[in-house]
Structure 1
Amino acid sequence: MAHYLYLVRHGEQLDAEHGMPDGPLSPRGRRQAELIARRLSGVPFNAAWHSPLRRAEETAQVFREVMPSLSLQPSALLFDCIPSGPSPDMPHAFQSFFHSITPAEIEAGTAQMADAVDEFFAPAREDRHDLLITHNFVIGWFVRHVFDAPQWRWLGLNQANAGLTIIRVRSAKPPVLVTHNDLAHLPAELRTGLPEAQPF
């Protein structure tokens, strides 16, 4: 049986560039949410969850407007978090990211993502399609899990706002990454949330 996870990063947050920890969607973020919701409107979702943070909740509200029969529930397992801390095998270039991160934040994020994998990667006994509206680091951790990569490898796995990642969970074999950060539903001017390209 096929169990698919449809991972959607929330739309662009209003004033995100000013470092606000959470906030409403920008007009562009709402349009991003509308387009990804319309793209997925034909999927027979069995269940749908979203992060309780405002930017993810408002993205979920747009999904409800496009798919009125979709029942979306908040899940603390999808909160934005720091999935793991620095490790000896991590490239030195990532060290600076952790300068303002506390051990308590890392401990909480590690526990959260362990529970999230147990919850959402459970094999299904029938065909199943689940929607998860969440955050960049959470999706990066799930992709890292698919490849059983080193724990630090979620760093640098970036998802655009309203990007689509699909994972197939299997019972007797490791999960499979079907698509990662698919932006086919977004015109170029709505593709936001990725790191700025650095000149060489």
Structure 2
Amino acid sequence: MTHTLYLVRHGEQVDAEHGIPDGSLSARGELQAEAIARRLRGITFDKAWHSPLKRAEETARVMTDMLPPLKSEPSSLLLDCVPTGWVEGTPEVYHSYFNSYTEDETVAGRAQMGDATAEFLSHKTEHRELIVTHNFVIGWFVREVLDAPEWRWLGLNQYNCGLTIIQQRPGRPWSLLVYNDISHLPASLRTGLPDNAVD
């Protein structure tokens, strides 16, 4: 059975630009969540998951309210994290970026994403799953399915409520079908890529 993951970055949160670590959705974030829900109407999901952080939980709630009878479950494996620290082959330009995180944070992020990969990228009987999570988590999953170097999650940035789809057919490796698609979002709702995005 084909296994397909629909990966959605959470909507914009209130005062995200002021560094609030976990705020509620902004009014624009709610509109983004409604737009991606409309985009996914007509798809029958077997399971839905979300990060326990407020911005992802609220995005999932807005979406599942519009996609009955779908309910979403929290998973700590989908929490926002830094998937790796400095690894061999990382371009020197990222050195200062990694200096802004502690070793404990990057060790925890690596362990979390190892478990997340084992959980969500293992072939399952469910054939369509919706996952509402964070920029770096989606970047890590894309890096994983493309078998790219460990540091390459850097620069794989997602708009708020952008859509990425990965798929595995029986006996085949994972494929990247859609990456950061925002065709459902009008220009006024396209947020989330920082001006100084790590790329």
TM-score, length-normalised on structure 2? 0.95
- The answer to whether structure 1 residue 85 and structure 2 residue 106 are counterparts is no
In 2, Cα distance between equivalents of 1:13 and 1:170: 35
Change (3 A) 1:170 1:118: farther
Q: What residue identity is the alignment partner of 1:141?
A: W
Report the secondary structure of 1:37's partner residue: helix
Contact preservation (8 Å) 1:183, 1:191: yes
1:126-160 deviation line (CA, Å, top 9, x unaligned): x6100000000000000000111110000010000
Counterpart in 2 of 1:191?
Answer: 190
Segments of 5+ residues of structure 2 without an aligned counterpart are none
Q: Deviation of residue 67 (structure 1)?
A: 1.6
Q: Is the 8 A contact 2:2 2:170 kept in 1?
A: no
Q: Which residue of 2 aligns with 1:108?
A: 108
Once the two structures are TM-superposed, the CA of residue 197 in structure 1 deviates from its matched residue by 6.9
Q: Secondary structure at the match of 1:100?
A: coil
Q: Is the 8 A contact 1:122 1:169 kept in 2?
A: no
* 1:79 Cα deviation after fit: 0.2
How many Å separate the matches in 2 of 1:169 and 1:97?
Answer: 33
Tell me the secondary structure at the aligned position of residue 63 of structure 2. helix
Secondary structure at the counterpart of residue 33 of structure 1: helix
Q: Which runs of 5+ in 1 are unaligned?
A: none
Residue 30 (structure 2) pairs with residue 30 (structure 1): yes
CA contact (8 A) 1:49 1:75 kept: yes
Cα offset, 1:172, TM superposition? 2.0
1:42-61 matches, within 5 Å, as 42-61=42-61
- Does the 8 Å CA contact 1:167/1:176 hold for their aligned counterparts? yes
In the alignment, does 2:6 pair up with 1:6? yes
Q: Conserved in 2, the CA contact under 8 Å of 1:81 and 1:138?
A: yes
SS in 1 for 2:99: helix
SS at structure 2 position matched to 1:35? helix
Equivalent position of 2:127 in the other structure = 128
Give the superposition deviation at 1:2: 1.1
Q: CA shift at 1:96, angstroms?
A: 1.2
Give 1:20's aligned residue: 20
Q: Which moved more, 1:96-105 or 1:46-55?
A: 96-105
Q: Secondary structure at the match of 2:164?
A: strand
TM-score, normalising length from structure 1? Answer: 0.95
Partner of 1:141: 140
CA RMSD of aligned residues (A): 1.3
Q: Residues 121, 91 of structure 1: CA spacing in aligned structure 2 closer, same or farther, 3 A cutoff?
A: same
Q: Give, in whole Å, the separation in 2 of the partners of 1:66 and 1:39.
A: 11
User: How far apart are 1:196 and its partner, in Å?
Assistant: 1.9
CA offset digits 1:101-150 (Å, max 9, x no partner): 1111111111111111111111134x610000000000000000011111
